[in-house]
Amino acid sequence: MEQLALFILRISLMAIPLYVCNGLALVFGGRKHIDFGRKFFDGKPILGEGKTFKGTFAGIFFAGIASLAISTAFPQATEIMGTNYMFYGTVLGIGAVLGDFAGSFAKRRLGIERGKSVLWLDQLDFVAGGLALGLIIAMPTPLEALFLLAFTMIAHVLGNTIAFSARMKKVPW
């Protein structure tokens, strides 16, 4: 039982900065494109219009704020990450943004337009990027990493289904 509680606690401590970063990048998405509208050698956008300065820095900033707030409110709980949690949360945010950039970079190389969805990549690039960069500070167990990826996928599908049923979205994906 205690094992399970610890597992859920660690998962949540990793998930929150990642989700905050991704969500708030969307909310704060601005106009200045982080690739300055430039094209890559293939003549296609480097990252495209979905990656802006405001969104990027808001995502990282709020990942840092969220982890600062959590480590202030629950210092004992965050100790279980075995590191300075505010620092870890910020690095998760930076990694999430970089993973998201990598996803967009790959999509543009494949000629997929900005905003066109690619199942698995769109939902998981930021989680994979965050956890990967986070390795410089803390290491999730393979089970924790897998669980986070699977949970994110399921949450995405559920969220979209609900938004579709509530007529907030036109398509259920």
List residues near Mg ion by CB under 5 A. 122
SS3 9: helix
- Out of 46, 100, 145, 152, point to the residue binding ligand CTP (CB under 6 A): 100
Could you say which of ligand CTP, Mg ion, none residue 144 binds, taking C-beta under 5 to 8 angstroms by partner kind? Answer: none
Could you say which of Mg ion, ligand CTP, none residue 152 binds, taking C-beta under 5 to 8 angstroms by partner kind? Answer: none
- Contact flag: residue 44 with ligand CTP (CB under 6 A): no
Concatenating the DSSP letter of every residue in 67-125 gives HHHHHHH-HHHHGGGSS-HHHHHHHHHHHHHHHHHHHHHHHHHTTPPTT---TTHHHHH
Given a contact cutoff of 8 angstroms between Cβ atoms, the answer to whether 60 and 97 are in contact is yes
- Contact flag: residue 56 with ligand CTP (CB under 6 A): yes
For ligand CTP, which is the closer residue by CB, 90 or 104? 104
Considering only CA atoms, which of 114, 105, 121 is closest in space to residue 153?
121
For ligand CTP, which is the closer residue by CB, 70 or 121? 121
